[in-house]
């Protein structure tokens, strides 16, 4: 019996992100980024040396890390409070409506929901409304 591989790859992220309406892949902040109407909602985000240093003796999340926008800081706190494996933040993101996701650890369905929410946070209202109406009909 084959075991299902946990987590996601950058290519998985690209496939999921570009399946959403109006998404373009680009580079922002020298990082692979997915944008809707010019606004980044998901990016691959390696840790800087300063980020790693701030972890001190704590485990530094490994593998590929993605940053995902949230609608606001309250949503960010709610996402973090849900306690999903692989979803976290770092001091660099204090005050910023975004969470980090450890792709090797996160559940695929959780990531899909977070990605969709990130897209909705940045998509133009009309595009988001059309998308949500279409999804409700499914």
Question: Which CATH number does the domain housing residue 99 bear?
Answer: 3.90.1150.30
* Domain membership flag for residue 36: yes
36 phi and psi, to 5 degrees? Answer: -130, 125
* Domain membership flag for residue 109: yes
31-36/39-44 β-pairing: antiparallel
Q: How many domains does the chain have?
A: 1
* Domain membership flag for residue 22: yes
**Local structure of 110: helix, strand or coil:** helix
| pLDDT at position 28 | 86
Question: What is the band of 62 on the pLDDT scale with cuts at 50, 70, 90?
Answer: confident
| pLDDT at position 71 | 97
CB atoms within 10 A of CB 87: 20
User: Mean pLDDT over all residues of the chain?
Assistant: 92
Tell me the average pLDDT across 17-32: 94
* Domain membership flag for residue 64: yes
Tell me the average pLDDT across 67-71: 98
98-102/23-28 β-pairing: unpaired
Tell me the average pLDDT across 26-52: 93
Query: Maximum distance among all alpha carbons in the chain?
Result: 49
* Domain membership flag for residue 34: yes
Tens-place pLDDT, residues 73-125: 999 999 999 999 999 999 999 999 999 999 999 999 999 999 999 999 999 99
Cβ neighbours for 85, distance < 8 A, ≥ 6 positions apart:
105, 106, 107
pLDDT over threshold 90, residue 1 = no
For residue 103, the enclosing domain spans 10-137
* Domain membership flag for residue 4: no
Sequence-separated contacts (24+) of 84-89 with Cβ below 8 Å = 84/110, 86/7, 86/61, 86/110, 87/114, 88/61
Question: What is the band of 6 on the pLDDT scale with cuts at 50, 70, 90?
Answer: low
Whether the CB-CB separation of 40 and 50 falls below 8 Å is answered with no
The residue assigned the tokens 């650890």 is 105
Whether the CB-CB separation of 16 and 112 falls below 8 Å is answered with yes
Say what the pTM is: 0.90
């Amino acid at each position: 019996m084959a075991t299902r591989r946990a987590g996601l790859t950058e290519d998985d992220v690209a496939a999921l992100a570009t399946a959403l309406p109006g998404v373009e892949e680009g580079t922002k902040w020298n990082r692979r980024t997915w944008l809707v109407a010019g606004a980044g909602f998901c990016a691959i985000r390696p840790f800087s040396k300063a980020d790693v240093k701030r972890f001190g003796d704590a485990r530094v999340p490994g593998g590929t890390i993605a940053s995902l926008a949230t609608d606001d800081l309250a949503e960010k706190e709610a996402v973090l409070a849900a306690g999903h494996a692989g979803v976290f933040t770092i001091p660099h993101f204090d005050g910023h409506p975004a969470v980090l996701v450890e792709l090797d650890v996160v559940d695929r369905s959780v990531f899909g929901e977070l990605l969709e929410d990130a897209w909705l946070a940045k998509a133009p209202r009309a595009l988001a409304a059309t998308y949500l109406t279409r999804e409700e009909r499914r």
